[in-house]
Structure formats: structure tokens, C-alpha cells
Structure 1
Amino acid sequence: MNIVVLVKQVPDSSMDRNLRSDDNTVDRGSASNVINEMDEYAIEEALRIGETHGGEVTVLTMGPAQATESIRKALQLGADKAVHVLDDALAGSCAVTTSRVLAAALGQLNPDLVLCGAESTDGRVQVMPHMLAERLGVAALTGARKLTIDGGTLTVERQTEEGYEVVTAATPAIVSVWDTINEVRLASFKGIMAAKKKPVQTLALADLGVPAAEVGAAGATTEVLAHHRRPPRSVGQRIDDDGTGGVKLVEFLATEKFV
């Protein structure tokens, strides 16, 4: 089975994150950048499928040169090879144009199965698997907490607020996963050393047939016009119980429209 895992490098969500003052995009240069957390579970799931059903696992990422750090980590975990879409014109791309570029790359890789995280910790829009499925004309099985494969049929337990739904589709398909699907392995010393010899292919927009003028900030369908830092947390309202504390609490909740 030809498996492709989409990997995005994002600013570490456990540390301070900022937007640039000149164009209101994420300031990746000043951040500690890591693999998007949900993508690590997608990598793990791809490796398990490869171990059970055979096949090859390719990591696909679109990002600046520093994204090679995340590519290398994915290879250390056990992925076989990687493709890095790298082009200066991609800076500032929105989700729509990103999906166009990734779809073009996936068209060249011709995967049976595409795995990705259910969301990224920087954008959190959860739309990429749907956009890619639409562009490629394949099924999208999203929010998976469990994935099973029987020949060319995929069965997913799709996590919902009420429980889960069972959804099936034939390959090729795109599956996005939550962190409930597995436990991510750690890279071994053998894996770290082996990753140094694994191939990483670099593709530019010209290789994908995507015009530079139609991506990046110039081709973006959305734009952040302004941003402001979250105000510091204010001191809460204290209620002293003099026998009417319960009434005061309900009045406060009613004022805030909680009750």
C-alpha cells in the first residue's frame, strides 16, 4: 500500500506564539517549531498500517527550509522517504491555496491512502482533508479514533461529541485522525541513524504546474487585517457569603447569561 502522511511544522503550542507586525502572518522565525501534534498520530498510524499490510510510507510537507527538521523527525520514527514542497512564493498561502499545492503533489505521488492530523495547532480550521478530497475526487474519512483496512476497504470509527460513527470507503481515500487513535512511538537510535540515508525530494511550484502568482499572499482568499494580544486576565468578582451568597451567585450567572 502506498501511504502518504501530511506533516505540518507549527510553532510549539506550549510556548509563546506571535504574529508578524508587517503582514499579520505567523512569526515562525521567532518560534520554536515542531511537528503538528496531531500529525504525529497520523505518522504512527501509517507506520502501523505499513507493518501490518506492507507498503511504503512517504511524508509530504509544504513549508520553508526549516521544515526539514520536522521531515527528519518523521523519517527517524520510521517513514521511508519524504517530499518537501519548497518555494519562496508559498509564503502567506491560505488553506485554499495550500490545498491546491498539496493536491498537485499528491497527484504525482498517487497514494492509496493519505493520512493527516484532524487539525493543526496554529490554524485549527479542520478543513484540509475535505479540501484535498474534493480536489482529488476521493473520499474523506475525518476525525478517526480507529481505522481498519480490509483489502481496498477502509472502516473508520469517527469520533463525535456523542460517541462515534462508523464510516466506510474504498481506497484511495483521505483519513484524518485524533490523538485517541494510538500511542506515538519514540525514535530509536537505529531509526535516527537510518533517517540520515533516507531520500528527501524537493519540489518547487514549477514542478507541480502551479503558477506562483496564484499562491502565497498574492493568491490568498483570506487576509488578517489586524491583530492584538489577548488582554491580561482581570481579577474576578468576589462574593462574600453573608447569608445571601447563593442569590448573588445566581444573579451574577444570570447577568453573564449562563443561566
Structure 2
Amino acid sequence: MKILVPVKRVIDYNVKVRVKSDETGVDLANVKMSMNPFDEIAVEEAVRLKEAGKATEVVAVSIGPEKAQDQIRQALAMGADRGILIKTDDVVEPLAVAKLLKAVAEEEKPEVIILGKQAIDDDSNQTGQMLAALLGWSQGTFASKVEPAEGMINVTREIDGGLQTISIKLPAIVTTDLRLNEPRYASLPNIMKAKKKPLDIKEIGDFSVDVAPRLQTVKVSEPPKREAGVKVESVTELVEKLKNEAGVI
């Protein structure tokens, strides 16, 4: 069973994001970048399936600038076998990402595609579902447990009411939630080995895919600063403030 794992280059979750002075976007100059945390979970799960003898090959793919090779190399250091980078310096929307991943899937012919449920930069939570629709594959989203079976995958999903376990036929799309696993740290020997693993670099033009943006960013601004709280002497005063000042009741 071949597994395809898309990974995204995002601002590191420990970094305080700064908005550009002209409010056209987020300042990326001299900012630490890393692999999207949900995608790290996806890579870890794919590698565990390979180590358990349930998968034969793990292929990491990313769509982004040339520096996104760093994130692919991280996936290779974690245990992926080879990588594919579709190089572009433009912002690619979730629908375009899904179309490109569909083209890659048609070339690579994986039985399972495991990807993070969302990216921490745009929080769209769209790519996995769109990809499943474009490919016509089964999908198990928000997975907290994945158990391959004969021609099937049992996926335990995190839903509002608790947990839901479904059985989906292969080929399938699985999107990972936080509690699926704890990603490993790549050891130094594996980091060195990752440098020798194959990594193919392609251009968006190599695929007959329409990646024209459907959305236009009008303005990016920081959220308003949280105001200091107010102490009240009684429930009556609290209700009065909630009603007359906050306007929530």
C-alpha cells in the first residue's frame, strides 16, 4: 500500500505573527517557518503504518516555494521514502491545492492519502474534503485513530457528540486530528540520510490544472486588543452590565 502525504510550509506556531504596515498580508521576512503541525501528525501516522508492515512506501508532497524542500526533508527524516515539490512562489488556494494533489495522485496511484485536517495559517479545513470529491474517493476526516483492514480503513473520527468510527473503502482520504499520535523527533542520522533520499521538483506548469485564485484579500489586520476586565459587586450589577454595556442579553 502506497501512502501519499501532503505537507505545508507555514509560520512556526511559536512565532508571533506580524501584519505588514500596508495591511496587504503577514510579514514573512526573517520569520521561522516549519511544517504544519497537523501534517507532522499525518507523516507520523504514515510512517507508523509502514513500520507496522501495512504500507510499502510513503511519499511526501508539498506545494510552495523552493524553501519548502526543508519541510519535505523533515518528512523524509521522519521516515518518508521520497518527496515531490511542486514549486511556486504564489499563494495557492485550497481548491487549487486539491487539483494539484489530484494530478499527483493520478501519477503516483497511492491507495491512501493522509493529510492534516487544516493548516494553522489559514485554518481553511477544505483541501482533504475537496480532494476526496475530485478523486471520487472515500474520506475519513478528523481522525483520532486509523486501523487498516482488508481493502478498508477503520477511522475513528472526533465529532461534536464524541467519537464516531466508520469503515471506508480504499482508495481513501484521511485527515488527521491532534489526538491521532505524537510526532517523533528526527534523529541526526535520519536527518543525514534524508539528504540522500530522492526529491523531485516540478513546476505548476507541468500539470494541466487551473490554479487561478477565486478569492481576493482586501485587508489583513490584527485583532483588537483585549480590554481589561471589570469587577462587579453583585449579580444584579453583572446582569446590568451584560445587558446595557455588553449587549449580550
Tell me whether the two structures share a fold, i.e. TM-score over 0.5: yes
* SS of match in other structure, 1:132: helix
Q: Determine the C-alpha separation between the residues in 2 that align with 1:189 and 1:11.
A: 23
Q: Which ranges of structure 1 fall in alignment gaps of 5 or more residues? A: none
Q: Name the structure 2 match of 1:224.
A: 217
Q: Which residue of 2 aligns with 1:92?
A: 91
C-alpha displacement of 1:133: 0.7
Structure 1 equivalent of residue 206 of structure 2? 207
Supply the AA of the counterpart residue of 1:196. Answer: K
Aligned to 1:51: 51
Matching of residues 2-81 of structure 1 within 5 Å: 2-20=2-20, 24-52=24-52, 53-81=54-82
Where do residues 149-168 of structure 1 align in structure 2 (5 Å cutoff)?
149-168=148-167
1:253 is aligned to 2:242: yes
Q: Structure 1 residue 250: deviation in Å?
A: 2.5
The one-letter code of the counterpart of 2:130 is: M
Who is 1:235 aligned against? Answer: 228
Q: Is the 8 A contact 2:63 2:86 kept in 1?
A: yes
Counterpart AA for 1:114: I
Aligned-partner residue type, residue 7 of structure 1: V
CA contact (8 A) 1:59 1:82 kept: yes
Which residue of the partner structure matches residue 191 of structure 1? 190
Taking only the aligned residue pairs, the percentage that are identical comes to: 31
3-state SS of the aligned residue for 2:189?
A: helix
**Contact in 2 for aligned 1:155/1:166 (Cα 8 Å):** yes
When structure 1 is superposed on structure 2, of 25-34 and 123-132 the one drifting more is 25-34
Question: Whole-Å Cα distance in 1 between the matches of residues 247 and 116 of structure 2?
Answer: 35
Q: Which runs of 5+ in 2 are unaligned?
A: none
Moved more, 249-258 or 92-101: 249-258
Q: Which one-letter code corresponds to 1:65 in the other structure? A: E
Query: Structure 2 CA distance, aligned partners of 1:98 and 1:22?
Result: 27
* 2:67 alignment partner AA: Q
Alpha-carbon distance, 1:186 to partner: 1.3
Q: Is the CA contact 1:25–1:92 (under 8 Å) kept in the aligned structure 2?
A: no
Please show how residues 113-132 of structure 1 align to structure 2 within 5 Å.
Answer: 113-132=112-131
CA RMSD of aligned residues (A): 1.9
Count of residue pairs brought into register by the alignment: 247
Q: Any idea what the Cα deviations from partners look like across 1:140-189, whole Å, max 9, x if unmatched?
A: 11000001011210110110122111111111111001110112111122
Distance 1:221 1:49 in 2: 37
Q: CA deviation at 1:115?
A: 0.3
Distance 2:141 2:247 in 1: 34
Distance, in Å, in 2 between the alignment partners of 1:22 and 1:110 is: 44
Change (3 A) 1:20 1:204: farther
Matched, 1:170 2:169: yes
The amino acid that maps onto 2:125 is Q
Q: Which moved more, 1:91-100 or 1:42-51?
A: 91-100
